[in-house]
Homo-oligomer: A and B are copies of this chain.
Amino acid sequence: MNEAAFAILRKVTTATITTMLLRKGIRRCWMNGPKPLVPNGQRVVGAAFTLRFVPVREDLATMESWGNPISTRAAIEEMPEGAVAVADAMGVPSAGIFGDILCARMKKRNVGALITDGVVRDRAGVLKSALPVWSSGVAAPASVNGLTFVGWQQPIGCGGCAIFPGDVIVADDDGAVVIPQAMVEFVAHEGAEHERYESWVFGEVENGVRLPGLYPPNDDAKARYAAWRKSRS
């Protein structure tokens, strides 16, 4: 992975990233559902490590299944340092996919974050684990109460997006976005430039400039921005 691009992305908002992706024709990059447990300004960037659940079936989704070779426990041990685990829980609101212990283990392994369109269990315990978590909320029941775990590092859907292993995930207080691997460089560099421009626009607005002609810029605004940009470099 391109560490330089990651370093830039750590300073770019998800809002800007989605705008850069729209320029590339990508509208389906925003995960509906995942929100930070507590919006505290934390940001995360990393390669997606995918987890996949299907609906519960009573003969398969049992507490005994947690000891299987294909289990959430086994998956966690495969996660590389810095990865962002993305779990397809089909938006099920009543089965907490991970709780305090699994999150603590992920934290111990230096996994970057857990992101899911489902929910986690034991809010207090998960916060205590210090693993950054974006989910659709919290519910007490275990994953096996409503879900069957079937594997990892396969293509998944999460919050209405297709996520492939290795896609890049960025999450902040707004939620989480997926960047197709081939667009990471573009998004990072254009995104940083775009944020520079928007910071200038924000200043102009503070000075009382009207929006039409400013954002998007007409020729005059472009010239003024270019001058400002030059003066800062």
Q: Is the CB of A141 within 8 A of B18?
A: yes
Interface string of A153-172 (1 = CB under 8 A from B): 01111001111000000001
Q: Is the CB of A57 within 8 A of B108?
A: no
Interface string of A34-46 (1 = CB under 8 A from B): 0100010100000
Q: A104-B206, A206-B108, A211-B77 are in contact. Are A25 and B173 (CB under 8 A)?
A: no
Neighbour of A162 across the interface among B17, B60, B156, CB < 8 A: B60
Residue tally, chain A, CB below 8 Å to B: 92
Neighbour of A28 across the interface among B26, B55, B123, B124, CB < 8 A: B55
Neighbour of A58 across the interface among B27, B76, B175, CB < 8 A: B27
Interface string of A182-211 (1 = CB under 8 A from B): 110000000000000010011001101011
Q: Which residue of B lies closest to A206 (CB)?
A: B104
Q: Is the CB of B54 within 8 A of A162?
A: yes
- Is A64 part of the binding interface, using a Cβ–Cβ cutoff of 8 Å? yes
How many Å from the CB of A211 to the closest CB on chain B?
4
Q: Which residue of B lies closest to A57 (CB)?
A: B162
Report the separation of the CA atoms of residues A99 and B195 in the bound assembly, to the nearest whole angstrom. 13
Q: Is the CB of B94 within 8 A of A210?
A: no
Report the separation of the CA atoms of residues A195 and B116 in the bound assembly, to the nearest whole angstrom. 26
Report the separation of the CA atoms of residues A150 and B27 in the bound assembly, to the nearest whole angstrom. 20
Report the separation of the CA atoms of residues A149 and B157 in the bound assembly, to the nearest whole angstrom. 11
Q: A66-B215, A104-B206 are in contact. Are A22 and B142 (CB under 8 A)?
A: yes
Q: Is the CB of A173 within 8 A of B123?
A: yes
**Which residues on the B side are within 8 Å of A13 (C-beta)?**
122, 124-125, 140
- Residue from A41, A60, A101, A162 with most neighbouring chain B CB atoms (10 Å): A162
How many Å from the CB of A130 to the closest CB on chain B?
11
**Which residues on the B side are within 8 Å of A140 (C-beta)?**
13-15, 17-18, 30, 172, 174-175, 177
Report the separation of the CA atoms of residues A172 and B122 in the bound assembly, to the nearest whole angstrom. 9
Considering the complex of A and B, which 5 residue pairs feature the smallest CB-CB distances, nearest first? A14-B140, A73-B211, A18-B141, A54-B157, A57-B162
